[in-house]
Amino acid sequence: MAPSSVVVTIDKSTNISLVEVSDSDSSVFLEKQKTASTKQFSWMLLLKAHKILSFFPWLAIGFSKTLISVKKRIALADSGRDEVQYKERIIYRFIRAFLAISIVALIVEFVAYFQNWDLHFIHEFNPTEVLGLFHWSYMAWISFRVDYVAPSITMLSQFCVVLFMIQSLDRFILGIGCFWIKFKNIKPVIDGEDYDIEDASTFPMVLVQIPMCNEREVYQQSIASACQLDWPKDRILIQVLDDSSDELLQILIRNEVNSWREKGVNIIYRHRFIRTGYKAGNLHSAMSCDYVKNYEFVAILDADFQPNPDFLQLTVPHFKGKPDVGLVQARWSFVNKDENLLTRLQNINLCFHFEVEQQVNSHFLSFFGFNGTAGVWRIQALEESGGWLERTTVEDMDIAVRAHLNGWKFIYLNDVKVLCELPESYEAYKKQQHRWHSGPMQLFRLCLPAILKSKISKWKKANLIFLFFLLRKLILPFYSFTLFCVILPLTMFIPEAELPIWVICYVPVTMSILNILPAPKAFPFLMPYLLFENTMSVTKFNAMVSGLFQLGSAYEWVVTKKTGRSSESDLLAFAERESKSFSEDKIQRRLSESGLEMLGKLKEQEAPIEPKKKNRIYRKELALAFLLLTAATRSLLSAHGIHFYFLLFQGLSFLVVGLDLIGEQVA
């Protein structure tokens, strides 16, 4: 046997295996294996390189398509109607001036960067080291910035950070309260026995009000939902409070009411000839009717709300045995929450509002802001609190505060949900948010003396003033806009006042996670939600300022645009109703010959041809987008990591919103 051979022997005679491996064979084998491994590694690198290279054409195509859509949006957007208004607004002029200064500062910083000037200790510079007039001017600015500008910016930023932490603590405490309610399974309970179904007289008298104004898309489904409420027919009255300015639409709504009245529903149609006070004036006019004194409760349902038939059965019994309860509020549920990115982000916000804020305040304080709809009021509470007033654009919050000051308690039902719509376009959402954030500041100015003079406890006064109004309605929009849209980009040009990373990253992300917990399916939208909330801060800040100082835009009231989307059950109900409904022959018999001409016009108006809508350009948001992107560019010179990415993505978020690329796309 060769000395270089290896013999392996197994004792069993039936299964003997000899393996002989020579040194030369083993070296060849190892060499082949190494060659194969090298080839495999090379192929793996080539595949990865191919994937990386194939990403760039996809990125280039996506970028080019985005540029084309942006160019088209700029060419087609309807921005002319607001141009004068924007020029008149102080905030917009401030942002534009800030942007111009930032661009000039960025150019100067680029020159200094490429000249390799060492500016870390520039306030101790030696005049003999000056390289020229420009260098001397820049060094003098740095010295002045360090000694005078940076301390002021630092103080302002620290003040905003303190407000930010207080508001974050408030959110955290609300979250703990919600967790406690869930952990203990705490829910409002009904005292006493149920109403006797066989004896209708045991049911209280309920008035249902449907205020509407030019709600062509939703009037049919809202009236139908109210008429299908499960309540004794002789113990309920439905008021359709139509403030529409379109005469043909008035006739359509009146005919819809007449059709339900023919089916035995106790329903009436009301139209005001003098339409003042918006929704508050409409409700105040309806409550002044003589027959209202025969009713004990009033349910308010806006035109796009579709309650289930058992809505009254689930809400009204909570008043039994509780004479101090003035309001029972149900939760909103959204039929179009998954329609687009804008509706998904709104759903996150409103889920936190209902699941956490309303539920916690209801359980621990027996007070919360009335949501304006999907609620049932004790009429006595409305009357003793002064009724509906037309002094603000948030009549729902107004009546809730006054009722609370009069000692009435509120109950929130998180398990009772009423379908409604979310605004699908940014234009409609922005107008809604402007009204929701300017109105509370109007109300705060008007209610502060009444709060201080009221007989409620000091704790409730403090809650109303510091938490309900100041912290959640004033401080929140103030620090959001000031800290993230003004101070943060400013500190890129004044690095001595730089914000710590935990302020711009860790705490906001933590609070966003807390806000998104009530809507767990929305976790993939965590970062878009954080960026969008900061983007909306400019609208909310502007609204807060206009309401606080009684500026003209504080009194704007625009009816939120509806699309008339219905749930599947609603569509089935309407199909059944149409199959059993009155025919057009009945309409024709009710109308005179002149009315027949009007009927023809009505048929034409069923599907009116509206002027083509266009997406808009929002100059304030675009100015902030360029400001933040300019600051992001400056942060690159200082090698900022988190600051750069935050400013970059926040600037892109403002750009998307400014070009109206979020929400419904119509052009």
Q: What are the tens digits of pLDDT across the range 414-443?
A: 999 999 999 999 999 999 999 999 999 999
CB 475 within 8 A of CB 167: yes
Residues in CB range of 243: below 8 A, 6 or more apart: 211, 212, 213, 214, 271, 272, 275, 282
Question: What separation in angstroms does the CA of 344 have from each of 161, 303, 348, 464, 537?
Answer: 29, 22, 7, 30, 18
pLDDT for residue 83 is more than 60: no
End-to-end, the C-alpha distance of the chain in Å comes to: 89
Q: What pLDDT, on the 0 to 100 scale, is given for residue 1?
A: 47
Output DSSP code: residue 663: B
Q: How confident is the model at residue 138 (pLDDT cuts 50, 70, 90)?
A: confident
What digits encode the pLDDT tens for the residues 618-645?
A: 999 999 999 999 999 988 887 777 899 9
**Active-site choice (243, 302, 304, 398):** 243
Known catalytic membership, residue 396? yes
Q: How confident is the model at residue 595 (pLDDT cuts 50, 70, 90)?
A: very low
Query: 331 pairs with which residues across the strands?
Result: 417
Residues in CB range of 625: below 8 A, 6 or more apart: 651, 652, 653, 654, 655, 658
Residues 569-587 have a mean pLDDT of: 46
* Choice between 79 and 548, residue whose per-residue pLDDT is larger: 548
Residues 97-104 have a mean pLDDT of: 92
For 244-380, strand residue ranges (E) read 267-271, 297-300, 325-334, 375-378
**Active-site choice (242, 302, 304, 396):** 396
Q: DSSP of 136-148, one letter per residue?
A: HHHHHHHHHIIII
Output DSSP code: residue 366: S
Q: How confident is the model at residue 250 (pLDDT cuts 50, 70, 90)?
A: very high
Identify the residue whose tokens are 């401080």.
Answer: 475
Q: What pLDDT, on the 0 to 100 scale, is given for residue 581?
A: 45
Please choose, from the candidates 544, 272, 225, 539, the residue with its C-alpha nearest in 3D space to the C-alpha of residue 394.
544
Q: What pLDDT, on the 0 to 100 scale, is given for residue 86?
A: 43
Known catalytic membership, residue 199? no
Tokens of 293: 């004194």
What digits encode the pLDDT tens for the residues 32-52?
A: 555 556 666 667 777 766 666
Distance between CA 560 and CA 476 in Å, rounded? 24
Other Cβ atoms within 10 Å of 632 Cβ, number: 22
CB 161 within 8 A of CB 506: no
Residues 181-186 have a mean pLDDT of: 94
Please choose, from the candidates 624, 468, 471, 615, the residue with its C-alpha nearest in 3D space to the C-alpha of residue 536.
624
Q: How confident is the model at residue 580 (pLDDT cuts 50, 70, 90)?
A: very low
For strand 236-242 and strand 267-271, is the pairing parallel, antiparallel, or unpaired? parallel
pLDDT for residue 169 is more than 60: yes
- Amino acid of residue 389: L
Angle subtended by helix axes 526-548 and 642-658, to nearest 10: 70
Q: What pLDDT, on the 0 to 100 scale, is given for residue 91?
A: 83
- Amino acid of residue 45: L
Q: How confident is the model at residue 554 (pLDDT cuts 50, 70, 90)?
A: low
Whole-number average pLDDT of the chain:
83
CB 428 within 8 A of CB 561: yes
pLDDT for residue 463 is more than 90: yes
pLDDT for residue 575 is more than 90: no
pLDDT for residue 582 is more than 60: no
**Whole-prediction pTM:** 0.81
Q: How confident is the model at residue 496 (pLDDT cuts 50, 70, 90)?
A: confident
Distance between CA 443 and CA 369 in Å, rounded? 12
Residue 478 half-sphere exposure, CB side, CA atoms within 13 Å? 22
